[in-house]
Structures are given as structure tokens and as C-alpha cells.
Amino acid sequence: MTTNIILGKDDTTSLRIDPAKTIFWTGAGVSKELPSGLPLGNKLTDAFLESALGPKWKDFVALWNNNFPQIRDSVKNGKWYKPEPIGKFTAVDVDNGTAWERPRLEYIIGEIDKLDKYFNAVNFTNPDNNRLFYRGSSLHAISNFSFVEPNIYHYRLSDLSRAGAVMITSNFDDGIEKALGVDSNGAETVYGTKAVSNGDGGYVFHFHGIATDDTNNLGATIYSISKGLDEEFQGFLKECFAGGFNIVFIGYS
């Protein structure tokens, strides 16, 4: 079985491929279309930065942009140093979108989740301390993604999944699963990665985790993925590529 894939939103050229030999790797743009209406990457990152830093979050983003990529490189090399600014961005530039660089979303969420757990694990003897310091879990915001209503892209991807395509997504929502008519609460670990059966022998892989999972498990998944994809999952991908699979990225800027 083959199908036609449009190469780009402004490109009417189509590519005839075999879904059973294709990986579809989807990002936030897939779930932005109504009726889903979920936020894109930067908007979600900003929401978590605000929850962690309060009203000063824009100053942090401006600082990050003023020192990017030196901060990224110093952290990557494990040798922190004070970088020389390469820009003069302010909170105003964050508002108007000029300062658009952000730390990796999974790293931000993972670090905030660790902070949540640190505060919530403290045994306060004074009831007022519980009122002042209890944070709950920032990941509850992601759990709302489980209420997503699938859009036309989710339904098209579900058709391709049934035709044998490998589905890999960075998204927390279960729009593809809802379009497939399967229960994402039945998620399991396949190749070291959270996955939901499509009901036809295949899976939808959520390497960031999935909103319907327990927040403790979700936090661990997000923190671990900040270090890279699971080795077993990397092995699975290498086997696919060695077998001549196509790969189509959808929903990334």
C-alpha cells in the first residue's frame, strides 16, 4: 500500500511512499490546529518558566538570548564560565518575539518537577509553612492535555498508523490515540520509551511521556529525556533506517 504525502504547506508536489516503511515524527504544530488548540513549544516553555520564576521570567529569557549560544555550549561542555553578552535584549523583546531562543522544554520541565518534589517532600511542623511552600505539581498543567479533541491531522495520522506507519511524537497529548479510538491510559514501555498500542500491532511512541500518565512517572520521563533518547529506542530507530524506512517530520517550525 502506498499513499501520497504533500511535501510542504505551500508545495503541491506529492511523494508516493509506503506507510509501512515510514516513520512520522510529530511536534507541537500537529496539535495547534482547532479543535485541539494546544500551545506551541515556546508558549508552553514560557508557561513553565513563569511558574518557576514568577514575574521575572521574561528577564531570564532576555538574559538567555543575550548569552546564547555561549550558555548552551558551556553547559554542554560541563565547564561553566561567565559568557560575554552578544545581544542587548530586554523583556520588551520577549513580548514582541524578537528574543525567541529558549532552553530546551524538557530540561525546564524536568528541573521544575525536581523543585516541586523537593518542596513537597519537606516535613513542615508549622501549618503556615505548608501554606507558604507547598507547590503541588507543575505537571498537572500537562495532564490537561489528555482532554484534547483530535483535529484533522490526528485523524490523518491515525489512518497512516493503521496502515503500518511508525508514529513518534514529542507531544504530551493523546490526539492520535483518540483519533484511533484507543485508550492512552493503557500506555506501556516499548524499547525503553512510553508507547500506546494502536490496536493493529503498532504503537504511538511518546518519548517525552504522555499526559495520561502518573505525574511522578511523567516527571521522571521528562527529566531523563533531557539527556537524550533511550538507547534501546535509538537501536530501534537505527534498525528502521537500516531497513530503508522514510522519515517525515510534521509540526516543527
pLDDT tens, residue by residue, 144-157: 788 899 999 999 99
| Distance set, CA 70 to CA 45, 65, 74, 93 (Å) | 20, 10, 6, 19
Backbone angles phi, psi at 111, to 5 degrees: -70, -40
Q: What is the pLDDT of residues 80-108, one digit of tens each?
A: 666 677 789 999 999 999 998 888 877 78
Would you call 70 exposed, middle or buried from its count of C-beta atoms within 10 A (0-12, 13-18, 19+)? middle
| pLDDT tens-digit readout, 140-197 | 767 778 889 999 999 999 999 999 999 999 999 999 999 999 999 989 999 999 999 9
> Which pLDDT value is given to residue 103?
83
Q: What percent of the chain has pLDDT over 90?
A: 46
Give the per-residue pLDDT at 50.
84
Q: What is the pTM of this model?
A: 0.76
Pairwise CA distance, residues 239 & 82, whole Å: 42
206 has pLDDT over 70: yes
Alpha helices in the chain (DSSP H): 41-53, 57-66, 70-77, 91-96, 105-121, 127-133, 140-143, 152-162, 175-180, 215-225, 231-242
pLDDT score for 156: 93
Length of the chain: 253
Q: What value, to the nearest 5°, has the Cα angle with vertex 189 and ends 184 and 194? A: 55
Higher pLDDT, 238 or 2: 238
Contact 157, 147 (CB under 8 A): no
- Residue 173 is given by DSSP the state S
- As a whole number of angstroms, the distance between CA 64 and CA 93 comes to 12
Which among 22, 29, 16, 4 has a CA at the least distance from the CA of 161?
A: 22
